[in-house]
A = this chain, B = another copy of it.
Amino acid sequence: MGNIELRRHSEVSLARQIYQALRDQMIEGHLKPGEVLLSTREMAKKLAVSRNTAYEAYEMLLAEGYIVSRQGAPTRVAEGLRLEKAVPFQGKIENVSQPTYKYKADFRTGRPDLRRFPRQMWLQLLHKVTEKLPAELWGYTGPEGLPELRQEITAWLYRSRGLTVQPQNIFITSGATQALHLLAKLLSGDSQEIIVEDPCHIGMLRVLQENGFKIWPVPVDKQGIKTVYLEGNRACTVYVTPSHQFPLGGILPADRRAALIRYARKNNIYLIEDDYDSEFRYSGTPVAPLYSMDQQHVIYVGTFSKMLFPALRIGYVILPCQLHTRWCKLRTYADVQNPPFEQAALAEYLRTRKLDRHVYEMRRLYGRRRQVLLQVLEETFGETWHSWGDAAGLHLAVEFPGRHFDQAFSLQCKNHGIRITPVEYHSICKGIHTDKLLFGYGHLEPDEIEKGVRLLQAVL
């Protein structure tokens, strides 16, 4: 038996240290199969530990089958323990976490202003509501989501959009991403082909691709997906953003909406409608969802990441009855359910109309920021640009005719401390929208917007 060095002040108990040392010697072959171990009394004496400690170490070795002990016979090393030493990983280790690079100008898309969210109020609400949650809600409560929250989302959709939805058709998810992740599984037919808008949110596209979908891109113009190009594929589902096309910003016109619905009915497939930020519309009330035209063929995906804050991780999906059972299975086998705490708080936030007020205030704030952005762009670039899409959401798509925003441009931006995404980044067929940039402005104060655009001018 080799030497055993004990660390007397370690957080690991002496018994476990003895166990580990003996175990390693057996695995590495320094203690041979069948070899007799010291008795616990001898071991205790040798290592200057209590007999109990040695006994505990031997018990662990015995329980895990490293040693064999028969009444009256000495304790021996078990057979078949020998293992080569593990070889540490030799390859290149990629650093996964992004460096916390501090940008001077950060035009990222899809970011609400977290500084303006009443965080203290939310935490107090969370505390108040969760104190009352009965103990059984701390267990497993099912894949559908909290009944109160489904009820309150129903009421919210009715008063904000005039939508009539049954609470039992609403299923809570961990954000819109999970909704799409599960829908991709739910709707993957024989063909595994899906129609998406081009350009389309690259993250959502990856979600679909990770689930084995072949992508059938359909081009987008200023109004949204060009439905004349729907035919000619074997798609088993369609993924669209009709209220505010991401990233180009169009509101899909009624005739194209009708064409989408007719297409879905004819082919007996579902349309996935992602309504990611249309609460923030500055020129009027939010657009009516495609879902209101056909509740049997449209699956509506909503999220609270933009209205409240992304870390909430709550979204939802509205499903026709025939998909409920399968959905619940998929959710259960993916991650079981959302935590109930944030759900209960959100239900209360909706019930007391705090959401309505917050959205109202943020809509005014974001609207003003959009105006600032437009004004600064005009002051900076004169008439060499024009914006795309409806006055809505948290970002603006801007075309600079004649420009070509390529990788060299992106690198230059980075060198100047500017984070900005060309539309090309979200394009499937490359080369069409190379003259457009996306300005996320929702999370930026007016002076940050101004400074950012000036910095960009230096690059251009």
Which residues of A pack against B, CB within 8 Å?
11-13, 15-17, 19-20, 23, 26-27, 56, 59-60, 63-66, 78-84, 86-89, 91, 93-94, 96-98, 111, 114-115, 117, 119-120, 123, 126-127, 130-131, 135-142, 144, 155, 158-159, 161-162, 173-175, 177-178, 181, 185, 203, 206-207, 210, 223, 251-259, 261-262, 265, 283-285, 287-288, 292-297, 309-313, 320-322, 324-325, 328-330, 332-342, 390
Contact = CB atoms under 8 A, between A and B. Distances in A.
Given A59-B284, A284-B59, A223 B65 contact: yes
Given A56-B285, A78-B254, A17 B162 contact: yes
Contacts of A324: 93-94, 96
Given A12-B159, A59-B284, A285-B56, A255 B65 contact: yes
A287 to B, nearest CB: 6
Contact of A60 (B11, B17, B284, B329): B284
A313 B284 contact: no
24 contacts: A11-B159, A17-B162, A20-B292, A59-B284, A60-B284, A63-B251, A63-B284, A64-B288, A89-B320, A91-B322, A96-B324, A98-B142, A114-B135, A114-B139, A117-B135, A126-B127, A181-B334, A181-B335, A185-B210, A206-B333, A207-B333, A312-B339, A313-B336, A335-B335
A341 B342 contact: yes
A334 B285 contact: no
Task: Tell me the interface secondary structure of chain A in the complex.
Answer: helix
